[in-house]
Amino acid sequence: MNTNYIGEHLLPGQLGHFFAVLAFVSSIVATISYFMSVQSKDANLQQSWKNLARGGFIIQAISVFAVFSCLYYALYNHFFEYKYVWRNSSRDLPVSYLLSSFWADQEGSFLLWSIWNSVLGLVLLRTGKKYEAPVMTVLSLAQVCLASMLLGIYILGYRVGSNPFLLLRLAEENQGLPWVSRADYLNFIKDGNGLNLSLQNYWMVIHPPVVFLSFASTIMPFAYAFAGIWTRDYKEWIKPALPWSLFSAMMLGTGIMMGAAWAYESLTFGGYWSWDPVENSSLVPWLTLVAGIHTLLAFKYTGHALKATFFFFLITFILILYSTFLTRSGILGDTSVHSFTDLGMSGQLLIYMAVFAIPGFWLLIARRKEIPSIVKEESTYSREFWLFIGALILLIAAIQITFTTSIPVWNKLINLLGIKSLFNLQRDIAPPSDGMFHFNKIQIWIAIVLGLMTAVLQYMKYKDTPRGFFSRKIAVPTVLSLVITGLIGIFGNINYDTYGAGFLSAIYVMLFASVYAVVANAAYIFIGQKGKLRAAGASVAHVGFGLVLLGILITSAKKEVISIDRMRMLDNGFFGKDSKENPRENLMLPKNFPVQMGDYHVTYAGDSLAHGDAKTYYLVRYERRDPKTGDIAEKFTLHPDAFLSNRGEQGLTPNPDSRHYLTKDIFTYITAVPIKDESSDTAQYTKHEVAPGDSVFFANGFMVLESLLPKPENPNYQPQSGDLAVGAQLKVFTKNNEQYNLLPVYSLRDSSYEVIVPDTVAPLALFVRFSKILPKDKKIELQVKESDTFKDYIVMKALVFPYINVLWGGVLVMIIGFIMSIVQRVKANKAKSN
């Protein structure tokens, strides 16, 4: 069967696929050549292998960019013959969201990862020097794995990768469908499936590039550590590895917190962090990477903790791959709200993980005895000892989070290994029903220990701390922190009692720990470093970390839902046993009817549409009155919005809006709106026979028939040539002295059948039909209906997040600290090599 399909654009796809295969092949060439360059003894041979490898890598980098361009070209031109384009975009999608479409799916996001790897590789070609060959071997191997994800070629009956340029008509699920065999099928595919509404967001444009740069960058500490073991250069590798690992930790931290900010700003998860598996699995590698940076410093200054550094750097990248596996294999389907669905590449993802985990850890174990270590013990009064302990605490945090996040994996393993039948287990393990508290109750203690260590550790010296020195220097910050904690405790009104007094006391301890971390590190810039800001990167980053801890603590403990529906609570017993579990957090606001909510009177003032924007915007007016004088103390309007339908189907996809203050945010989003169509309406029309000048009464007022118009203009009525149309000009007066005009139309088309066009006053839920002309009585028949369900209202949820800016500010300070450290370390490396 050879159908000549009409209107397809096959060139970009063929080019794209060609370059995808070329990238795969040339990255294999680069990997092998770099490997040979490392393994060969002869300097000339090394150089010639290296030259070959460089060529291979540059070709693969160019190919990856070419694949990117081809796919973007297809997206930009709406070539819906490609499945990827059809699946992820549509014609009405604004151009600014085309990039979101690009990485909305697995193939595009792998491509993004691959691009960043290429960029990092090109940087290494220039800066790698003697580490170029071993490090690039690892990086090229990663490129082989990533390129294989985009192949879409069958090898021995297995499909390897998924080709983003697959034609829609060739897709598996469309085989055998009648339209596939039609040459003109593209005439029927007018538009794509479109981008998921919750991804049509500016965060989706900027968050993925940052996250994938951070994922890509975690290979650098891995590759340097691997290079160190592989070439038996156990000590020197840490110098170039340190700035890279700082960069990687900074990017990963930024990526995670951008995700948190996205969740907070424009999704309706009710916060910035919910211990969702997808969030957890990217936090865990950050923890191990940070642990690795600290053990690396301990090694750099004292020679201790080298093995631990190797372990942490190796495991970080493996955990990134594990997180990729979790989010992309579809295994999290039951436990996460935002993971990809299975693309049938789980096996390939596992192989990717094994390709790096097995050689890495095998070499580490095989050569463990060669790795230099110091026989003499660390002193308990040394910085390196506590750095090591801190790293282990981070590891415990990582293990606990991974253990719970991996529940779906445990289920798979239990089923696979037959343990289930062995122990006669009936059911699958489910994650804890109170997931937030499950993590919080453990991690709060870890955060406390980390906060305290962050505070005091800079005051300890490597090798040994003189006893008096430590207590003398730390005294002022300690007292200051105690005072500040006391003040916050007294005036901050922290009384989070949902989980009892034990947890509340933990909150107070953590309050001290995080304040201590901020104060002690800020003070260290002056006490320890005598105000030399250039060397204070670590202190600044630690101040940021302390602020993050503090911000998390305050926002979590003091977050408050203010949209509590108290009316209904009274019905069912406000103090009933269910009142805590069923907090009734949604509030119904009828239009133009102020409702008390927290300190505010809130009024829903109507909705509006903007041209070229598929969203509906709701006007929610907040008003706070001074309790004594009754004057309006504050007034503002929020515009939470929502997509009301997706491709013609009803469904609410809301986006929140917030009022930002320096000390708190008021966060509002829509949770339900009425469906505005007549079919859901049960009210009946009542008939009225009226002559011009007569009135008709209804519940909220009355209407007067002013006149009958021969050529009526009603937006819902389109006159046709054979029409004999009459409109009933009505004036509506409501009890609130509002006036509306109505013009229902009655028309006799071609003298044979009636066309009746009703008119409505939407805010009153009033429908009027002009149903009959009664020539004998010189009257007309009007049918009037007041709907009881069709009322304009919104249901919304509003939360107050106090001091959320402490968290965001902390993140910024931390990033600044990282940048300062990177600059300092790069400079130090350059100074040494000169």
Partner 1 sequence: MIPVVHFALILRNGKEGHFPLLQKIIRKQNYYNMKKSNIVLLVLIAVAIGVIVTVAGDFSTYETFATARQKEGKQFQVIGKLDTTKAMHYDPVKDANLFRFYVIDKTGETRPVVFYGTKPTDFEKAESVVLTGKMENGEFQCSKILMKCPSKYKNDQVAIGTKA
What does the alpha-carbon distance between residue 103 and residue 89 come to, in Å, rounded to a whole number? 11
Residue range at the interface with partner 1 (CB under 8 A); choices 109-117, 616-624, 730-738, 790-798 = 790-798
Q: Which is nearer to partner 1, 376 or 778 (CB)?
A: 376
Instruction: Please give the residues from 367 up to 426 whose contact with partner 1 meets the rule CB under 8 A.
Output: 375, 377-378, 380, 385, 388-389, 392-393, 395-396, 399-400, 403-404, 407, 426
Q: How far is the CB of 316 from partner 1 (least distance, A)?
A: 18
Phi then psi for residue 432, to 5 deg, are: -55, 140
* Beta bridge partner(s), residue 794: 589
Q: Which is nearer to partner 1, 40 or 586 (CB)?
A: 586
Instruction: Please give the residues from 38 up to 77 whose contact with partner 1 meets the rule CB under 8 A.
Output: none
Q: How far is the CB of 809 from partner 1 (least distance, A)?
A: 31
Contacting partner 1 (CB under 8 A), which of 6, 155, 429, 774?
Answer: 429
Q: Return all residues near 517 (Cβ < 8 A) that are at least 6 apart.
A: 451, 452, 454, 455, 542, 543, 545, 546, 549
Q: Which is nearer to partner 1, 67 or 453 (CB)?
A: 453
Q: How far is the CB of 380 from partner 1 (least distance, A)?
A: 7
Phi then psi for residue 101, to 5 deg, are: -60, -40
Contacting partner 1 (CB under 8 A), which of 6, 10, 45, 177?
Answer: 177
Cβ atoms within 10 Å of 61's Cβ, excluding its own: 23
Q: Which is nearer to partner 1, 450 or 525 (CB)?
A: 450
Q: How far is the CB of 595 from partner 1 (least distance, A)?
A: 11
Contacting partner 1 (CB under 8 A), which of 6, 430, 476, 632?
Answer: 430
Q: How far is the CB of 127 from partner 1 (least distance, A)?
A: 34
Instruction: Please give the residues from 528 up to 567 whose contact with partner 1 meets the rule CB under 8 A.
Output: 565
Instruction: Please give the residues from 755 up to 784 whose contact with partner 1 meets the rule CB under 8 A.
Output: none
Q: How far is the CB of 413 from partner 1 (least distance, A)?
A: 15
Cβ atoms within 10 Å of 493's Cβ, excluding its own: 8
Q: Which is nearer to partner 1, 186 or 517 (CB)?
A: 186
Q: How far is the CB of 356 from partner 1 (least distance, A)?
A: 24
Instruction: Please give the residues from 684 up to 743 whose contact with partner 1 meets the rule CB under 8 A.
Output: none
- By the rule CB under 8 A, 86 interacts with partner 1: yes
Q: Which is nearer to partner 1, 248 or 382 (CB)?
A: 382
Q: Which is nearer to partner 1, 496 or 793 (CB)?
A: 793
Q: What crossing angle do the helices spanning 537-558 and 500-527 adopt, rounded to 10°? A: 160
Q: How far is the CB of 647 from partner 1 (least distance, A)?
A: 8
Instruction: Please give the residues from 104 up to 123 whose contact with partner 1 meets the rule CB under 8 A.
Output: 104-105
Q: Which is nearer to partner 1, 33 or 335 (CB)?
A: 335
Q: Which is nearer to partner 1, 75 or 144 (CB)?
A: 75
Instruction: Please give the residues from 153 up to 172 whose contact with partner 1 meets the rule CB under 8 A.
Output: 168
Instruction: Please give the residues from 187 up to 216 whose contact with partner 1 meets the rule CB under 8 A.
Output: 187-190, 193, 196, 199
What does the alpha-carbon distance between residue 644 and residue 648 come to, in Å, rounded to a whole number? 9
C-alpha of 420 from chain center? 35
E-strand ranges in 691-792 read 695-698, 701-709, 723-734, 739-742, 745-749, 753-757, 759-761, 766-774, 779-786
Contacting partner 1 (CB under 8 A), which of 205, 619, 652, 696?
Answer: 652
Q: How far is the CB of 708 from partner 1 (least distance, A)?
A: 36
Contacting partner 1 (CB under 8 A), which of 109, 280, 339, 821?
Answer: 339
Q: Which is nearer to partner 1, 184 or 634 (CB)?
A: 184
What does the alpha-carbon distance between residue 746 and residue 725 come to, in Å, rounded to a whole number? 6
Phi then psi for residue 493, to 5 deg, are: 55, 55
Q: How far is the CB of 305 from partner 1 (least distance, A)?
A: 8
Phi then psi for residue 588, to 5 deg, are: -90, 130
What does the alpha-carbon distance between residue 462 and residue 321 come to, in Å, rounded to a whole number? 35
Instruction: Please give the residues from 573 up to 612 whose contact with partner 1 meets the rule CB under 8 A.
Output: 578, 581-588
* Beta bridge partner(s), residue 729: 707
- By the rule CB under 8 A, 789 interacts with partner 1: yes
What does the alpha-carbon distance between residue 43 and residue 436 come to, in Å, rounded to a whole number? 58
3-state per-residue secondary structure call for 788-814? CCCCCEEEEEEEEEECHHHHHHHHHHH
- By the rule CB under 8 A, 102 interacts with partner 1: no
Contacting partner 1 (CB under 8 A), which of 653, 734, 783, 805?
Answer: 653
**Residue 330, CA distances (Å) to 156, 323, 325, 462, 632 in order:** 24, 12, 9, 47, 52
Contacting partner 1 (CB under 8 A), which of 17, 50, 54, 87?
Answer: 87
Q: Which is nearer to partner 1, 368 or 568 (CB)?
A: 568
What does the alpha-carbon distance between residue 95 and residue 813 come to, in Å, rounded to a whole number? 34
Q: What crossing angle do the helices spanning 219-230 and 202-217 adopt, rounded to 10°? A: 10
**Residue 603 belongs to what H/E stretch?**
strand 600-609
Cβ atoms within 10 Å of 87's Cβ, excluding its own: 18
> What mask, x for binding partner 1 by CB under 8 A, covers residues 319 to 338?
--------------xxx-xx
What does the alpha-carbon distance between residue 720 and residue 714 come to, in Å, rounded to a whole number? 13
Q: How far is the CB of 294 from partner 1 (least distance, A)?
A: 14
Q: How far is the CB of 465 from partner 1 (least distance, A)?
A: 16
User: By C-alpha distance, which of 258, 247, 164 is closest to 204?
Assistant: 258
Q: Which is nearer to partner 1, 118 or 302 (CB)?
A: 302
Residue range at the interface with partner 1 (CB under 8 A); choices 53-61, 174-182, 472-480, 757-765 = 174-182
Q: Which is nearer to partner 1, 588 or 605 (CB)?
A: 588
Instruction: Please give the residues from 629 up to 648 whose contact with partner 1 meets the rule CB under 8 A.
Output: 647
Residue in this structure with the two tokens 């300092």, named with its chain if needed: 824
DSSP 285-326: HHHHHHHHHHHHHHHHHHS--HHHHHHHHHHHHHHHHHHHHH
One-letter amino acid at 510 equals M
Q: How far is the CB of 422 from partner 1 (least distance, A)?
A: 17
Q: Which is nearer to partner 1, 682 or 834 (CB)?
A: 682
**Residue 559, CA distances (Å) to 446, 496, 798, 800 in order:** 22, 10, 11, 6
First to last CA, the chain: 69
**Residue 81 belongs to what H/E stretch?**
none
Q: Which is nearer to partner 1, 674 or 763 (CB)?
A: 674
Instruction: Please give the residues from 248 up to 307 whose contact with partner 1 meets the rule CB under 8 A.
Output: 304-305
- By the rule CB under 8 A, 678 interacts with partner 1: no
> What mask, x for binding partner 1 by CB under 8 A, covers residues 437 to 456?
-x--xx------x-------
Q: How far is the CB of 424 from partner 1 (least distance, A)?
A: 13
User: By C-alpha distance, which of 253, 290, 286, 397 is closest to 808?
Assistant: 253
CA-CA-CA-CA torsion sign (156, 357, 313, 396): positive
Q: How far is the CB of 588 from partner 1 (least distance, A)?
A: 4
Q: How far is the CB of 734 from partner 1 (least distance, A)?
A: 20
**Residue 664, CA distances (Å) to 495, 496, 587, 676, 803 in order:** 18, 17, 21, 35, 5
Q: Which is nearer to partner 1, 237 or 340 (CB)?
A: 340
Q: How far is the CB of 677 from partner 1 (least distance, A)?
A: 16
Contacting partner 1 (CB under 8 A), which of 428, 599, 623, 723?
Answer: 428
- By the rule CB under 8 A, 819 interacts with partner 1: no
Total of chain residues touching partner 1, rule CB under 8 A: 78
